Amino acid sequence: MKKVWIDAGHGGRDSGAVGNGVKEKDIALRVATETVKRLERDYDGVKCDLSRSTDIYLTLSERTNKANAAGADFLISIHCNAGGFESYTYSGTKDAATASLQNVLHNEVMARLKPFEIRDRGQKKKDLHMCRETKMPAVLTENLFVDVPGDATKLKRPEVIEAIISGHVVGVAKFLGLKPKQQPKPPANGAVKILGPASATVGQAKEWARAKNAPQEFVALADLYWQVAAERGVDPAVAYVQAGHETGYIYRDGRSAAGIDASYHNPCGLKITAGGGDYQASAHKRFKDWTNGITAHLDHLALYAGAVGYPKADTPDPRHFPYLKGTAKTLEALGAKWAPSSSYGQRLGDELRKLQGIKADTPASKPSGETASIEVNGEKVADGPLINGYVFAPVRVGRGSTRR
């Protein structure tokens, strides 16, 4: 088992370089945490550790002491401090492994940044603490410069951050000779498509949720999933099962492992555009209501599945990145993509089949649960399901058309 130490530069009261709406510490943390996540998710024989996984302050000595104590095979320290991309090793080292690590890592990152016309500032040596005080090969990467408007603009683009992360991941894998993990085979009865009509009724969904001892708030959300999903071509049963898994049935025990609760109206653990740690509450998106949260969830699934018209401009999905389109057209394919585990999609498929096997009398067109009336000037104009204090019902906006 190879041990890799990833150091996210700066943090806490030490923001690093700041400019043009970008902070170095935030970029470093995002690249570091995602690199670790993908290395362990996608490759066998590697264990990764981070100097920091949240926005905390650490001295340089604390960072290198932790890496040395862990017995890591090598260290990579991630920063943003140059008009382009460059990498450093300690000026006094003549170690062949260090030189090899720098060469592979530098070339892999730069190969992915060239399409964005980012300058290659070269492989360099310098008397840097992070490279000098480690007992293992160490490389420090400088990923663009936040004070340069052109670089800062690129650092705000998800596809540029993706290129930086991917370059670090592939560089480490190549240097260590890691083998990709075997992807699970789809079940014998065929993979579950994300796009398509409802494969179960809303009544079945509610009975499944009640069997999980889910709170009433989660049970009631089934109505909203079935309403919104139809407009996006996503099977609502797929999305509802995923919501239950991702939230512990809307945080049945109060809060998620990340420290967020139902007030976030986040049914699937979506992060903010900048991303962040899996256990960092501030890295997760807070939606204004369940309609927005569920719409974002369904749009994210539709994008993964390659739905027509996606990616779209008008969406509350904060991570609606074009490069995701069509990368997971089935539930099983979400494994090692939406979540680190390669069996993630298969587990969701198992739950979906349990939901589909439930016998329920409630048809999809007539949702069960609490209902309420909408009145105008004392006259009732519509009935609809009551969800989290809101009544959902069709509203007439013009001749021959309705809008929810």
38, 6, 86, 107: CA torsion to nearest 10: -40
Same domain, 397 and 306: no
For residue 83, pLDDT over 80 is answered with no
Cα dihedral sign for 30, 36, 40, 43? positive
In a domain, 185, yes or no: no
Residues 241 and 318 in one domain: yes
Threshold 0.85, pTM exceeds: no
- pLDDT tens track for 336-385: 888 877 788 989 999 999 999 998 654 433 444 455 666 666 666 555 55
Are 28 and 154 in a shared domain? yes
Shared-domain flag, residues 125 and 217: no
Residue-wise pLDDT for 4-32, tens only, equals: 999 999 999 999 988 888 899 999 999 99
Average of per-residue pLDDT across 314-322: 92
Res 104: pLDDT: 97
Residues 63 and 138 in one domain: yes
- Domain total in the chain: 3
Domain boundary among 131, 159, 176: 176
pLDDT given at position 348? 94
146: pLDDT confidence band, cut at 50, 70 and 90?
A: confident
Write the DSSP string, 277-325: -TT-GGGB---SSHHHHHHHHHHHHHHHHT-TT-S-SS---TT--GGGT
What is the CATH number for 158? 3.40.630.40
Owner of token pair 């530069």: 9
Q: Are residues 243 and 152 in the same domain?
A: no
What's the confidence (pLDDT) of residue 397? 37
Range of the domain at 309: 202-356
Pick the last residue of a domain from 356, 379, 395.
Answer: 356
Whether residues 123 and 171 share a domain: the answer is: yes
Q: List, by residue number, the catalytic residues.
A: 142
pLDDT band at 136 (very low <50, low <70, confident <90, very high): very high
User: Which tokens is 106 given?
Assistant: 């530098």
CATH code of the domain in which 348 resides = 1.10.530.10
H/E stretch holding 379 reads strand 379-387
Which has the closest alpha carbon to 192: 365, 351, 362? 351
Any domain includes 363: no
The pLDDT mean for the chain works out to: 86
Whether residue 365 lies inside any domain: the answer is: no
Residue 290 lies in a domain: yes
In a domain, 195, yes or no: no
Which residues pair with residue 3 across a beta bridge? 47
Strand partners, 88: 124, 140
Question: Is residue 143 located within the same domain as residue 6?
Answer: yes
Please indicate, yes or no, if residue 196 is contained in any of the structural domains. Answer: no
Domain assignment of residue 7, yes or no: yes
Nearest 10 degrees: Cα torsion 30, 36, 41, 42? 100
Q: Which residue has the higher pLDDT, 113 or 365?
A: 113
Mean pLDDT computed over 49-62: 95
Please indicate, yes or no, whether residues 29 and 83 belong to a single structural domain of this protein: yes
For range 142-162, the mean pLDDT = 84
- According to the model, what pLDDT value does residue 58 have? 97
Shared domain check, 218 and 133: no
- Predicted pLDDT at 158: 78
Weakest-pLDDT range from 135-139, 167-171, 357-361 = 357-361
Q: Write the pLDDT tens digit of every residue in 271-302.
A: 998 777 777 888 899 999 999 999 999 999 99
Q: Which residues of 90-126 are buried (b: 16+ CB within 10 A; e: fewer)?
A: beebeeeebbebbbbbbbbbbebbeeeebbebebbbe
- pLDDT at residue 277, as a whole number: 75
Q: Find the range with the poorest average confidence among 84-93, 189-198, 354-363.
A: 354-363
**Predicted local confidence at residue 10, as pLDDT:** 95
Same domain, 339 and 217: yes
What mean pLDDT comes out for the span 231-255?
87
Domain check: are 157 and 215 in the same one? Answer: no
Query: What's the distance, Cα to Cα, between the start and end of the chain in Å?
Result: 54
In this structure, is residue 379 part of a structural domain?
yes
